[in-house]
Every structure is written in structure tokens, then in C-alpha cells.
A and B are shown apart, each in its own frame.
Chain A
Amino acid sequence: MGQVIGIDLGTTNSCVAVLDGGKPVVIPNAGGYKTTPSMFAISQDGKRLVGYLAKRQAITNARNTVSAAKRLIGRRWEEPEVHRAVELSSYEIVKGANDDPRIVLGGRQFTCPEIAGIVLREMKSVAEEYLGEPVNEAVVTVPAYFNDTQRQCTKDAGRIAGLEVLRIINEPTAAALAYGLGSDREEKIAVYDLGGGTFDISILELGQGVVEVLATAGNTFLGGEDFDRRLVEHILETVKQRDGLDLRGDLMALQRLKDAAEKAKCDLSSVQVTEINLPFIANDASGPRHLNLDITRETLEGLVSDIVSQSLKSVEECVNQAGVRPSDIDHVVLVGGQTRMPLVQKAVAQYFGKPPHRGVNPDEVVATGAAIQGAALVDTQNQLLLLDVTPLNLGIATFDGKTVTLIEANTTIPVRKSHMFTTTRDDQRAVKIRVLQGQEERAERNHLLGEFVLTDIPPAKKGVPEIEVAFDIDNNGIVNVSARDLATGLEQSIAVKASGTLSEQELEQLVQEYRDGGDLPGEKP
């Protein structure tokens, strides 16, 4: 049996880890980097580019480069997040056949699970290169607030990548696992996750191996890229004023500048001053122009301090939602490369009144936790597992538009609850049931996971038939439904199919397409 890898499928970057000799190892890609951009592109010469290669041409080929597809996965076209992404993305997003957002690259429509699958496949191959053997099983992480559809789509992405996703775990849970927290006594943990494109704050309560998510908050459009953007703007303005060099509109120059700004930002986490040196950045009548500029940490901090303050507002909101005080938090865990910035660390430490945990790289901590979970799943001797809880209420819609909760949020998973259904008319042969996820009382305000129709109910007076419908939430947080007619004992097969997910036929077609090398129709390998 091959090894189980842990994958942090991030909005901006992804990371893969494995347990090697009992110790977690974060696996570097071919370029030597331990994180890989979650980006995919069709280049101008029709080639598929994944990871760093896609990132390095993201500005010069913006229309055909997709990033942050995770923001869209499992969402319906109508959702505000999708509309925001449509406004802000440089690539085209269209409404798909399943009411899902789809991305157009090189004239072909890609579903979001497909894009995620391409990234997961890249991480799989990074691991295979390192391990020297095929990898078929993985634990994949998702944000704690992901609903059933988003989790199901992530699982589908794994299948497209040729991976069996043994378990989907929450990102903050994985971070806690990486630090070995919560195995002994009851503790409250704040996980401050500032990634490239999103910010999540979670307050967890850990105890006796169970992780309860007390509250989550954040901003799906705030992250390290905002820091980069501010720095790029600053450099553009400075060289325009100082050198009379206007690089706005020059895509090659902007690509180099964006890469250099990101590197400078990272450097400034460890030094006070760094130099940006871009020779031959442009040409004009006087010949080649070069860009040389010193950037100080103080300058960078001045440029982004309001973004850090904005994140702290979400922290405050989350702490209030959780019903705790900052001083009640036992541990603060930082996740995401942007948390390396001293200003961020200082702000978080000040808020909670204690320094954050150190020891695991913040951009590797989630994958590390996933790898620990993955190894534990196949190791029968390993007792230490953190159990997640369901993040949202699961219920059904009533005839008057309300929601009846069947499984409450924060119930430890896996969980199974059943509910008795009957008819409201004489000789009624079918009942339609709408399954919802969310915290709202009104049905239309919750996320519709799917609907199904119970059929072949034997004719009887209204209220007489007894149909037991069981709702399961498995270890991955994914909902399954089964039904049994108590009079006849017959089981009914019920498929809860959410809008926004792929049909089995579509999924199988994609799995086939990608199985052998994965070259897309009409595309150069």
C-alpha cells in the first residue's frame, strides 16, 4: 500500500506533506519550493501550465490564467461570492449547465472541481517524484465553513486528480494537529490564517480528541496579494515620479514588478531594507531602462497597516461570536505565508495578549496536519485523531418555508439522525424533501444541498405511511441520505444532488480524460 499524503489545497498556494519515518516532511516541488501556486493556465502556444509556470505568466497572459478557483468551488452562480469573482477576475467566468460557475480558458470551459483537480494532480506528482512510487490516497483540507457541496466538489477534484480522498478535514483542525494540540486537556485555540487571497479566523475548542469550531469569520477577498498590490503601486508611483518611467500598461514590466514586489515583501520579514533591481525593464528613445529601488520594512508596513487592522476587526467579530474573551484563548496558531510578516505577528500577539506558536512554517502547517491525519488513518496502532464537528445545521424545508433542524451545528461527525415522514393527502404516492444546510430559520436563506422525491408510497389515508429518512454526515462532513418504508421494510435509493456539483457522468468523463496524462482535447501537452 502506498503512502497517504496530506494536501493543503489553498486558494493561492497549495502544499503537500507526508509522514516519513514518523516525522512530517513537506515535499518541495521541482523548483525547490515547498508551496506551489494553485494556478492553471493555457499558454499562448496552447500548452497547459500549472503552479509556478502558470504564475510566471499570469500577468502577460491574464485572460487564460486562473487563480483562486477555490473561491468558486461548490458555489451556485447566484451567490454574491461568484459575482464578486466575476467582477474582479481577469479570466472569464460563465454560468455552467449545473448552475455552477465555470471558467473559460483557451476557448474551453472548465468546471471548478476540474481546476482544483488539476492542482491536486500537480501536488500528487510532486509527492510521487519525491517518494519514487505512485500515490493514490490523500487527506485534503478545506476551510471550516465549507458546506456539503463545497466538500463534495473538493472530493470530486481528488477523483479527477486520480486520488482517493480518504478524509476531508478542516484547515484549522489540521493546523491544531500539526502542533499536537488538544490531545490532553480542554483548550481554546485561535487559528489566524492569512493566506495569499483569503483571510480566515477560527476559534476552536479542543478536548478529548474532538475539535469544536466555536466560530469562524474572515474575508474571502483579503490576503497577501493585497500586500503585493500595494507595494507594486508604490513602486510604480515612485519610479514614475523619480525617473519619469511609467510602467503601467507594460505587461512584461508589470509581471517582473509583481514577482519582485512579492520577493521584496518576503525579504522584508527578515531584513529592514531590500533592493529591487530589474535591469532592462523597458526601452525608450534613450535606450534600455533599469529599475533600482530600495524598500524599507517601515515603508511596507505603512502601506499595509490598514489591511492588518481590517483583519483584526474580523478577529474581534469571531471572538465575540464564540462568546469568549481574547484572554480565554490558550494558544494562537498562525497559518499562511503572510503571517511571517512581523507587523502581522505583532498585531495578533497584542490582540490575544500572548505570542503565537512557532515551530512549524505557517505556510506548511495545514499540509503537515493533513499528513499526520493521513498516516493515522492507515495506522491501526495510532489512536490520536481529532474529530471534526459539522459546521452548519442540517435540516429540511417545511411546507410553510421554515427550516426544521435535524442535525445541529457543532455535532461531532460522523453522525446519523433519522426523521419520520408521512403524507398530507389521502393516497399520496410521493413526498418531495428539500435538504438544507445553514443557520437561518427561513428555508430560502439556507444553502439548498439538494432535493429528492420519495416515491412508491403505498396508497393509504393521509398521515398513515411511515417513511424513515436517515441523514448521515460522514467523517468528511459530506451528507448522505437513505430512506426506509416502515410498513414494507423496503429501502429507497435516494440521490441528493446539489446544484453546482458534477453529475456522475460528467465526473467519470473528466476522470477518463485526465487519467492518461490528462491532455485536453485540442490542446498541446
Chain B
Amino acid sequence: MSQQEARRLVREGLDAFGVGDQRRAVECWRRALELAPGDPEARDYLDAAATAGISEALEAGPGQGPALTAETLLREARGMLREEDPEAAFELLLLAGQLAPGELEVESYLDMVRCQLLKQYRDRVGDPRARIRVAAAPDKISRFQLAADAGFLLSQIDGTTNIGDLVSLAGMDAFQAYRIIDRLIKAQLVEVVA
């Protein structure tokens, strides 16, 4: 039940962020993390908010800290890229995209970072000809908060399919598929068979 509530809060936070209510967004993500410690999405959004100085500004009180606009987030994202942290930059850019849908510069950066990340994911995941298999028991998996697309991909991992084929049959773009596989490996739910 608490996990379901956490998911609801993550989405509520995103909705709040989309309409410019950063305070409520951060509150939602914090509560989500309290309810479901380790929830990757809540953690990512909070990290992104911290990186962008949003959390700090909120704590400093009204009128303090940077103005929380797409421009601010874009600037912070550029900083993250300089620090070679495209993952954080990507989260910031997603948030920027929520604030300014269709903004060309944000979209260009998103495309660029997506390419960088895809390369990183591919490097980390390894040889696409290698097989991948489930590494966790069903009860452990069920404790995770997986989105339906991650659930779909996980269901296709049968121990005989190689990574390249898995990406091809995933029914999603390569970035999304590799991102999910990378996260599933990090969470030790799946493993690449040497």
C-alpha cells in the first residue's frame, strides 16, 4: 500500500512541477522516498531538484535562491554536463521540458544528452551478443517499484535472449530499452551472462 502511495506521490510531484509548484513537487518526492526508500524515480527527481538548487532555495524561504525557471534548470544541466554527469543533466532537462514544453534549446540538449547516455548505457551493459538473465527471486523483484515498460522488458528476459535481440523486441526505442536494462542490472534484478 505504501508503495502504491509512493508512486502516486511521484506522479503528483511531477504534475506539481509541471505547473511551477516546485515546493509541492519536492515535498511529494520526499514523502514518496520516505514511504518507499530507494524508489529510483523519487530519488532521481530529488537529486535533480537538489542539483538545480531547488531544494536549497525552498529551504532558504520565499524570495531566496535562484529563480526556478526552465532557463535555470538548463543552466544547471549545462553545469552537470561540464562535470560529466549526463544522468543528472538528463533529469534536469526533463524537468526543464516540463516547465517549458517545446523549448528548442531544452529539446536539443535532451537529444544530445540522450545520445551520450545511450553510449554510456551500451558501454556499461556490454556486448549486445551476451545473454541476459533474471538474477533475483520473484519476491525480491516484487518489492521494487517497476514501471510497466520495465515490467515488460523484465518479462522478456528468459536467459536465452541476448541483449541486442532484447532491445529489438522491446517495442520501445533503444535509449529507453538500454536505460531500463542498465537500471535493472544496477538493482541486481538481472545480470549479463559472461
Which chain A residues have a beta carbon within 8 Å of chain B's beta carbons? 30-32, 43-45, 47, 49, 53, 56-57, 60-61, 250-253, 255-256, 259, 278-283, 285-290
Using known A-B contacts A280-B146, A287-B6, determine if residue A49 contacts B165 with beta carbons closer than 8 Å: yes
Chain B window 135-178, contacts with chain A (Cβ cutoff 8 Å), 1 for yes, 0 for no: 00010011001111111101110101100110111111110000
Which chain B residues have a beta carbon within 8 Å of chain A's beta carbons? 3-8, 11, 138, 141-142, 145-152, 154-156, 158, 160-161, 164-165, 167-174
**How many CB-defined contacts (below 8 Å) exist between A and B?**
92
From A30, A44, A285, give the contact of B160 (CB < 8 A): A30
Q: Is the CB of A31 within 8 A of B4?
A: no
Using known A-B contacts A49-B168, A288-B146, A288-B147, determine if residue A278 contacts B7 with beta carbons closer than 8 Å: no
Q: How far is the CA of A45 from the CA of B3 in the complex (A)?
A: 34
Question: Main SS of chain A's interface residues?
Answer: mixed
Chain B neighbourhood of A289, CB < 8 A = 148
Looking at the assembled complex, report how far the CB atom of A47 sits from the nearest CB atom of chain B, in whole angstroms. 5
Q: How far is the CA of A115 from the CA of B152 in the complex (A)?
A: 28
From B150, B164, B171, give the contact of A280 (CB < 8 A): B150
Chain A neighbourhood of B7, CB < 8 A = 283, 285-288
Q: Is the CB of B158 within 8 A of A31?
A: yes
Looking at the assembled complex, report how far the CB atom of B127 sits from the nearest CB atom of chain A, in whole angstroms. 15
Looking at the assembled complex, report how far the CB atom of A153 sits from the nearest CB atom of chain B, in whole angstroms. 29
B154, closest chain A residue (CB): A280
From B138, B141, B148, B165, give the contact of A253 (CB < 8 A): B148
B158, closest chain A residue (CB): A31
Q: How far is the CA of A53 from the CA of B158 in the complex (A)?
A: 11
Chain B neighbourhood of A250, CB < 8 A = 148
Looking at the assembled complex, report how far the CB atom of B33 sits from the nearest CB atom of chain A, in whole angstroms. 14
Q: A43-B169, A252-B148, A286-B4 are in contact. List 20 more A-B contacts (CB 8 A).
A: A31-B160, A44-B168, A44-B171, A45-B174, A49-B165, A53-B161, A57-B170, A60-B170, A250-B148, A252-B171, A253-B148, A253-B152, A280-B146, A283-B147, A285-B11, A286-B5, A286-B8, A287-B145, A288-B7, A288-B148
Chain A neighbourhood of B145, CB < 8 A = 287-288
Q: How far is the CA of A49 from the CA of B166 in the complex (A)?
A: 11
A56, closest chain B residue (CB): B169
A58, closest chain B residue (CB): B169
- Across chains A and B, which 6 residue pairs bring their CB atoms closest together, nearest first? A280-B151, A60-B171, A287-B7, A287-B4, A57-B169, A43-B168
